[in-house]
Each structure stands twice: as C-alpha cells, then as structure tokens.
Amino acid sequence: MRVKICGMNDAAAYETAVDAGADYVGFVFFPRSPRFVTPAQAAAIRAVRPGSPPAVGLFVKPELDQIAAVLETMPLDIFQIYGTPELAQAIRARFGRPVWLARGVSSRGELPAAEDAGQGLDALMIESKPPPGADRPGGNATALDWSILAGWTPALPWLLAGGLTPENVAEAIAASGAMAVDVSSGVESSPGVKDLTRIRNFITASRNAAPGLSASTDAEYESTGQGVS
C-alpha cells in the first residue's frame, strides 16, 4: 500500500506525515485552494525533513511557465495535473518527470476513457467528481462509489482519492482494490488545517488494510501492476 498525504501547508503536518511513513507528500499550487502554498512556503516546509518522500506538485490547468517558475524555488519529483491529457503530456515532455493525471469518475463506464487519457503518463489519480458549485476540481471531501473500481486493471498505475478518511479508508481499499491512496480533507480539522492525529491514523489504517503491501516491499508491490512511480 502506498499513501500520499496531500495539501501540506505547515511544517508540523509535514513532519508528522513523513515520520508516520507517507510515501508521497503533496503541495497545492492552485491559488483558490485552502491548501495553497507559494513555492517559497513549500520549500521551507520541505526543508524540515530533507531527503524525505517524493514531493508531488498539484497544478490545475497550469501554464508550463508557471510550473517552471515553481521549480526555480521548490524542487518537485512528480506532477499531479488537473487538465487535458495533451497538457499532461506536454508537462512530462518539458520537465522530464513523472506526471499523474487526475480524473473524476462516477461510473464504471467512464474507466476506459480514464485509462485512454492516461496513455503515456505515469499514473492516474482516480477521484470523485467535484460537487455542483465547487470552485476546485479536487480536495472537496466527496467520495465516489468505490465498487465501480473493483477488478479494474488498467495499463498504468492508479491511486484512489476523494473523501477518504482514517475511518473509511479500509473499506475503500477493500471495495476498490486500490493499492495507493491519497487524502487531504479527511486528515483535516477544517479546510486547510491538517490534524496530526488524523494523519497518523490515516497512514496506519491504510497500511493495516493491506498489510502485505508496504513501501518496503516494493518488488511485491510492483508485481501487482499498480506500482506508482
């Protein structure tokens, strides 16, 4: 099981996520988000634990120059992109780093299109669709019907996100078959305010849900075909 804790915007939360064994940490560069950080803020947070898990930079329909500007201050290992597959490909080509494409889905019938959209990319972030009126495409604390993902074996790795919590993540993993999960709202006390206990509990609950698959058993994990690079 791999776990990403997204929306890192304070050092204590970051330190807690790293110490609890997060496999990825996410930084949101979308100004309308309650988790928005500037590149300088992100770099200062990351400096708390140099050499920590891969840093995932989250961008919504970015200009390539916006990403380049962030990279001048904040090194990122992976990009999580909300936008078209073509934009995601262009980002991958320009920056030479893995790109995860976010796709909101609500039915099994939408999965083939999601898989198509991910062709040539490194992973799919499978999320719930934003609720009506939401002013951001993710991070809305809404869950999808996990059962639509049961038995899905796309050609590229995928992570499950949207509305996950320490309380429901085991059920989500069992129902969907996900081997990588991502959370933001579910480890917060209010939008943008991370809760340290909930971060620890989420990571523990995720690992306990799939005890045979941990970051330290990479070979076994990769053999499932859902390894996330």
Q: Crossing angle for the helix pair 196-209 and 169-176, nearest 10 degrees? A: 30
Residue identified by tokens 């050092």 is 11
Q: What are phi and psi of 3, to 5 degrees?
A: -130, 130
Stretch that binds ligand LARABZUK, among 15-23, 30-38, 66-74, 204-212 (CB under 6 A): 30-38
Report the amino acid identity of residue 194: K
CB-nearer residue toward ligand LARABZUK: 39 or 163: 163
Shortest distance, position 165 Cβ to ligand LARABZUK, whole Å: 8
| 136 near ligand LARABZUK, rule: CB under 6 A | yes
The CA-atom distances, in angstroms, between 168 and each of 113, 171, 206, 223 are: 27, 5, 9, 26
Contact letters for ligand LARABZUK, residues 95-134 (x by CB under 6 A): ------------------------------x-x-------
DSSP letter for 83, please: S
The minimum distance between CB 220 and ligand LARABZUK, in angstroms, equals 25
Regarding 60 and contact with ligand LARABZUK (CB under 6 A), the answer is: yes
In single-letter form, the type of residue at position 27 comes to F
Give the per-residue contact string, 32-51, with ligand LARABZUK (x = CB under 6 A; - = no): -x-x----------------
Contact between residue 15 and residue 46 where contact means Cβ atoms under 8 Å apart: no
Size of residue set near ligand LARABZUK by CB under 6 A: 27
CA distance 134 to 111: 23
Query: Which CB atom, from 84 or from 217, has the smaller least distance to ligand LARABZUK?
Result: 84
| Contact flag: residue 163 with ligand LARABZUK (CB under 6 A) | yes
Helix (H) / strand (E) element for 28: namely strand 24-28
Q: Do 37 and 8 form a contact (C-beta atoms < 8 A)? A: yes
- Greatest CA span in the chain, whole angstroms? 43
- Residue with the shortest CB distance to ligand LARABZUK: 139
Name the minimum Å distance from CB 219 to ligand LARABZUK: 27
How far, in whole angstroms, is CA 55 from its chain's centroid? 10
Give one word for 184, left, alpha or beta, with left for phi > 0 and alpha for psi -120 to 50.
alpha
In one letter, which amino acid is 88? A
Residue 6 lies near ligand LARABZUK (rule: CB under 6 A): yes
Site for ligand LARABZUK, rule CB under 6 A? 6-7, 26, 28, 30, 33, 35, 58, 60, 82, 125, 127, 136-141, 161-164, 182-186
